[in-house]
Amino acid sequence: MLNQAIDNYLKIRRVAGFELKVDDGLLHHFARFASGRSESHVRRQTAIEWAAQAPSPSQRERRLGMVRRFSDHARAEDPAHERIPQHVFAHRRRRPFPTLFSPEDLRQLLDATARLRPHGSLRPHTYYTLFGLVAATGLRISEALHLLLDDVTPDGLVVRKTKFHKSRLVPLHETTAAALERYLEQRKAIGGGDDHVFISTMGGALTYAMVNGTFHFLIAYINLGSKPDQHPPRIHDLRHSFAVRALAAGSGGRDAPARHMVALSTYLGHAHVADTYWYLQATPDLMRGIADACERCDAGDAP
């Protein structure tokens, strides 16, 4: 009975765009664990004991969360499934605050790509364009690495079925489009059969490991360390920096930030606008504006 309910649950969530490969294996493992106790419904204590088999508190909490989401879904049809508590093994991990690249930081990073070897090869141009594109558009690094030559169009970049199985068109500023075109002209000399936009010196597609290693080499070279109580810079922080700059550049009346947030969420390819609202905490000017508006509301001065 549990296995059938789990299959139905996974089918519904996959229609919504979730892959759930890990959830599939673990939830069916939980079903076998419960079946060994002759249980056909989710039981709170059984779920906790099953999750406790994971090696770390965070992994245990993650396992329990999988069962909790399934149980909440299954209870809609069969209230015999018990509710599963939160934070049994670990509290929710705080999202690390991003390193925000200033224009000067970004200039130093891009200038440093000229130092990459082999000198005179395509590699310095590849990383200059790759990191510049991510910083200028807010693409996920995985999206940039999966771009194909046919995805570069006069209207922008076609980003195909990525993290949440959605495709979108990302318009480019004319300066970004020109920089990408210059790179593609240089790339033609490499040729080869690979149709990825960004390729290695061997002519094949770049991997995340290659790009991540080069990024951290360049960060160390320009001595761009992290601030106290902050994680070291990551490639993903280029995307964070774009989002924060875009929010800070928004202007207009009282409702403008909300409209701007929806547009930015679509541009970034977020599944939920709530994922975009998180960037507000890294935008002090907007946060001050929101706080001031709240104070005026409390004082009865709001228009």
DSSP for 173-242, written as a single string: -HHHHHHHHHHHHHHTTT--S--BSSB-TTSSBPPHHHHHHHHHHHHHHTT--PPTTSPPP-THHHHHHH
Q: Which of 128, 183, 267, 279 is catalytic?
A: 279
Active site residue 236: yes
Can you tell me the distance from the alpha carbon of 123 to that of 115, in angstroms, rounded to the nearest whole number?
10
CA distances to 13, 14, 58, 77, 162 from 28, rounded to whole Å, are 15, 16, 20, 19, 27
Active site residue 168: no
**Is the distance from CB of 248 to CB of 100 less than 8 angstroms?**
no
Q: How many helices (H) and strands (E) does the chain have?
A: 13, 3
Active site residue 188: no
Can you tell me the distance from the alpha carbon of 163 to that of 232, in angstroms, rounded to the nearest whole number?
24
Residue 130 sits at φ, ψ, to 5 deg, of: -60, -55
Residue 268 sits at φ, ψ, to 5 deg, of: -80, -15
Q: Which of 62, 63, 123, 140 is catalytic?
A: 140
Active site residue 234: no
Q: Which of 62, 68, 240, 270 is catalytic?
A: 270
Q: Which of 68, 146, 234, 239 is catalytic?
A: 239
Q: Angle at the Cα of 228 (from 227 to 234), degrees rounded to 5?
A: 45
Burial letters for 183-210: b for 16+ Cβ neighbours within 10 Å, e otherwise? Answer: beeebeeeeeebebbbbbeeeebbeeeb
- Fill in the DSSP letter of residue 97: P
Q: Which of 73, 163, 166, 168 is catalytic?
A: 163
Can you tell me the distance from the alpha carbon of 270 to that of 138, in angstroms, rounded to the nearest whole number?
11
Residue 137 sits at φ, ψ, to 5 deg, of: -120, -20
Active site residue 107: no
Active site residue 227: no
Q: Which of 28, 41, 69, 236 is catalytic?
A: 236
Catalytic residue list = 140, 163, 236, 239, 270, 279
